[in-house]
Structure 1
Amino acid sequence: MTEAPRVDTAQLMELLSVSLGAYYGDFTVAAASENLTASQGKALTVLRRGPAAMRALAETMTCDASNMTGIIDRLEKRALVRREPDASDRRVKNVILTAEGERVTDAIRAKMRTTQAGLDGLDDEDRASLYALLERVFTPRPTA
């Protein structure tokens, strides 16, 4: 049995870059098919995890708070999200995905054919391995 060649961090980062570029391209086309920008689609995807304060949403999406306001304004006009005052601090506005926003988010994912085809080509064991590896790589670890 031959040993697999060692893959260094630079090679992994390059493959991640290529993979994420392909994913982002697929996502951008799917979002556009729903008449959304990639940033608007990303906001819906983030909100699928649960309501978020505007500031937290801007931090998650690594964008300026004023830019986030414009993104949410446009999504709210289409009834894809709604703003509600936070129960503990009425100065804070939480953004909540509406049922229509959920439908559009599902439609975007369903239209990501390249990504779907790649993932569908994995067997159950490979899917579980990929999930576990991505979770290990991208889950923040406590610092000492």
Structure 2
Amino acid sequence: MTPRPDSLTVEVVDLIGTVVARYHEEYEHAAAEHSLTGTQARVLSLLAVGPQPMRKIANCLKCEPSNVTGIVDRLESRGLVERRPDPDDRRVKLAAATAEGARTAEALRTSLHFAREPLGKLTIAERTLLKELLQRMLGGTAE
């Protein structure tokens, strides 16, 4: 017989679900303001950090590399992304944000008020604890 989750666990899971749903809703809205889909915006945000091979992007999105090719094609046609040879392996192509792509990713990031405003109500100690707890939940270690 599977043990029944306690009510606190159920409440925490429900709250996490609500936070995730609200974040995704706002993220999709912010992406649309830049004429992007949520997935295109996510790829652009990943590439704004640095060039990535298509396979790594696919792993982050948990999708097939062929899907990433189409997404990168559309972003490239808008001048937000470019393909470059990997300096370590010329057989591999890296996708990289252009200067315009990096500006768009930054504008997208700064327009996400839902994620930023509630966190601003927490003290630095509370945000640090929340970060550490989330990292632990995901199996990582606190930095």
Identify the TM-score tier after normalising by the shorter chain: 0.7 to 0.9
In the comparison of the two structures, how many residue pairs are matched? Answer: 136
> Which ranges of structure 2 fall in alignment gaps of 5 or more residues?
1-5
Structure possessing the higher relative contact order (Cα contacts under 8 Å, 6 or more residues apart): 1
Distance in 1 separating the partners of 2:139 and 2:105: 23
- 1:83 is matched with 83
Distance in 1 separating the partners of 2:54 and 2:45: 15
Identity across the alignment (%): 37
SS at match of 2:83: strand
Q: For residue 7 of structure 1, what is the amino acid of its counterpart?
A: L
Deviations along 1:31-55, one digit per CA (max 9) or x if unpaired, are 1101100000010122233221001
Distance in 1 separating the partners of 2:47 and 2:137: 22
SS at match of 1:35: coil
Distance in 2 separating the partners of 1:36 and 1:62: 19
- 2:63 is matched with 63
Q: CA RMSD in A?
A: 2.0
- 1:20 is matched with 20
How far 1:138 sits from its partner (Å)?
2.5
- 1:7 is matched with 8
Distance in 2 separating the partners of 1:28 and 1:7: 30
Distance in 2 separating the partners of 1:32 and 1:78: 15
Distance in 2 separating the partners of 1:70 and 1:25: 23
Distance in 2 separating the partners of 1:71 and 1:58: 10
SS at match of 1:79: coil
SS at match of 1:93: strand
How far 1:74 sits from its partner (Å)?
0.9
Q: What is the correspondence of 1:1-144 to structure 2 with a 5 Å cutoff?
A: 7-8=8-9, 10-140=10-140
4+ residue runs over 4 A deviation: none
Distance in 2 separating the partners of 1:68 and 1:80: 15
